[in-house]
Structure 1
């Protein structure tokens, strides 16, 4: 029988075993951060309100696709694609565009410079609250969190100061100094005035998928890619031969396979004119099943939206006026555990408004308050109302 002293650790590891070799961490991808819901990697769509709507992930999950359907002849979905492409170029991502020519690059909005924030920061201390000083910034806490919260969060490390979602201005153009990434175009139709050779019989869908496969296979792990397909099957961009269901569904199915093959490098955004291809048709239904998220934009035909103000200056109230409704049919990675802040997307009506400085804002729809009708009387009109029997 062996004896040992008390307070003696059995099989104490040596100093060499205690030293743990630190593994080199992977290089952080700019514009990519983990989801607060389940930790999967997400990127920004360029629209902060759209990021907050995507099942609580506060961003666009990598390896997924989003289909945006729009009624009428408006181009609100085109604005979302411009923000999506501009955000990718500013973050240093690789943007792949199908159906457009290189001239579309000049239509991307530039980064906005908010002059109001600087004016508030330069306010004198005498203008601040002197009583209950700890509550002086409480009034704007909720608005700042909703508007600037996604912009201040870092991309990968918690202490990073990189901007996750930039704010763009439609009245400005994206300059060459702001572009860090690359953009490539695959036109679906030849430009007018150019002779079409007889040898060019390959489908633009297949050429686009082939080129995308090669770039994804040869790109380093620190590169993120964005696929953008604006106005899919529009007669102005696609010929009648490309509108065949076999061509379109094979393209979306191949794109879905690439999204599953590269779940940490690729996202895709597709827009569809729903007036030409209604949701009741079989082609549209199959496209919705092959995409991870489906949203529908229903613009409101209001004169106040299309007519400029009489003074020629944009008012804040007119910019925030509701210009359409948003219907969310499905969200990417909306699993059985539910989503974060968008659990009530099916029970709540959503609307959107578009302005040059603030961009496209998606918010809950609410009717304006009813005001009492004030009957304006003409001068010289009697106060007594005539009663006829």
Structure 2
């Protein structure tokens, strides 16, 4: 398939700039792959579709305040920095994105205030840089300062400054392991009350970790999908989680991946028997049609941007024609799109 196949008129009027009043009161579209049936519910109805022995896979990554606002030394030009990943604790070097990128060169010094500054020491890509941070303190002091002055890294298309509500709502209720610069948005819909309902029914809530970078959210810019290269992201799946999921598969029960990040993680570590293996490392797995999924037989995901790797993965799981039909219906029924938007359950 081609990238242009995944293009559609961007529904800017349906872009959710703020979260719903309650996490589990977002709209929920149910897509049945076998009979092509589409239902319309609320996310709090999710527990009706799961039974004892089913497993729901949650990405427990935690977003850190990765957006720093600073100024170039001498010119005082405003510069925005996204901290993508720490490369070296001793040297305090980070892989970052800078905006506007054209104004920053190797050797430029940036001041973020509060005793924190940085120097661009290398170019990595046309968009990325290596930034060496300077702060009067040890590594722990530096991380503490970043958390104090950093802003919630809301996606660019939300087009507003982060507010107090974003500190809580651009984070899942089960977030534990810090390291993401973007939220696993399908998980934002779960409330503690809904999770408890699922637990009472005997549904396994299985946690894995995949720290999201910006790579997943950058549009595919080549027409031949197979030539797109995914940015690597850190992934952790322990043996306990694997044992629960593999038992669920053996018992022919429902395994549901919450979000494209969970799906990408579990598809990155499959045994020859098509079971899930423990994994600790980096994955650049890129899933697009056609693709034979090994672990999950259901999926929860938001409504994504045109030409994104996220909609391509969802199409591989749902079926291209059925997914495009679902998106058309979503626009007609005014579902909210993207990170703070509504959600679908694919069965």
- Normalising by the smaller structure, the TM-score range is under 0.3
Max Rg structure: 1
Between structures 1 and 2, the one with greater strand share: 2
Q: Please report the TM-score for the alignment, with normalisation by the length of structure 2.
A: 0.25
